[in-house]
Structure 1
């Protein structure tokens, strides 16, 4: 099994290297582009946010030959298809219809899961993906349907890079939901994720961590695993927290089996992007390995199976 996984990772790496080389040949240049309650501020509309940014930054347009564009799109599509096969995760029975804040790891492994909410966003999600790729870390992204619709190429890249996907509703609203409205929020998002990436996700995180407005009740009925968090980076307080404060908040609460809440969309996440490499470096110094939420759930499920097997 280990050899098989190694072969798959090497195959994916080869495809990624090919994609990078193709991009270089074409002269590609990437553009520069909660606590668990309702105190977390509403996410900012991305279009309005971008309009409020400085307008005097020079913009560069790189003309890519149409044939090269098609070749790049085809390669990314192949990567997405390959990753989708491994990312169609079936939640272990013990977690279906349950709310999870952390995973109890009984072994000596120091593992932790980074999660990112409210994306994809044009600038910050791409920057986060670049950092994770450089650090060879897989994370879990809880995506908003409207944002996926606006940035289909980014959600495809998230999957092509091997990250796990969770449902974070279509519109990221905090109000009370009827069963029919909750179903629309779930299904619209789930259908678009599948249409664009081939991934069928059974992970859900409610906006702002609100548990009593109808969304979590619907998620439980549909056997979703509702994934909360045990480590709040507090990056949602973007105007009131420093980069070092973000790092300190995370390190203070980190523990094996922990789930870290961060954001790649919904507002100004420049501090998250700046803090992420430093945070990863410090967690690595402490001996942590990084896993996705599905991997974390599988670890606990497998440990429970071993404990209940009699010789």
Structure 2
């Protein structure tokens, strides 16, 4: 079957699926503290998510990542993970992965491995319990660290994702390198992105260019450039002193649009064609109109052909609000 390609000749082979917009945290860069959630009636069933994801696999998707919100709070989530694992076992899918805040890993780590998941990303922005509660508003660091240890014990490869926040965790970047190095984890730093309304929180106040983060890291660590890629947007270096990789995701200071191979499916069946644009397509309607996948396949192909060339993320004194109205928690990571 002809692979999915957009009008710029980029092959789309990576699907990120938000299985829920719900989360037990209210991270200050992700959503407002009083953020509401979608009515359950608007959310796709697990069977519908499986069918949609499987259509993408049939159209050449090689990497599938489950996200949220927090994916592991979705009731029945492990049934979906086990079902999608069949594509890994058949060889149709190279990788089934998950991004999580770690709060439920103590319960599900072993099950993820049994289902065919080999690596996960865990969001962790600080190692200070007080700051962790400030950043997440509702989270407990000890529970997340316990979950990360359970994931490691279960045999999962772990990458830590850290959002760089000015005046919040910018004194911990060296500590994060050291902590991850001691435990055999890779680490990725991420710039704040202008997605969704944060209420009275200013992203300009939060934003640190990762060029500045890298320059600070190089005062202590030897960073060796590599050509390592995991299928996502991060550019990696190797830390000579620890032997681990550190990635940088820089949507603002150095975008990665020219090689973008990703689309994102929300839990309502909306296909987001670019993280930083409003362009989207409704897949829930063709999904439910027919039990035959032909209509759905046509809708997917037509949507991907409309994928924009790039995003318009900018945070500066003139533009420091929301570039895209949808919440990160409902976008699919």
TM-score tier, shorter chain, comes to 0.3 to 0.5
Normalised by the length of structure 1, the TM-score is 0.34
RCO comparison, higher one (Cα < 8 Å, 6+): 1
TM-score by length of 2: 0.32
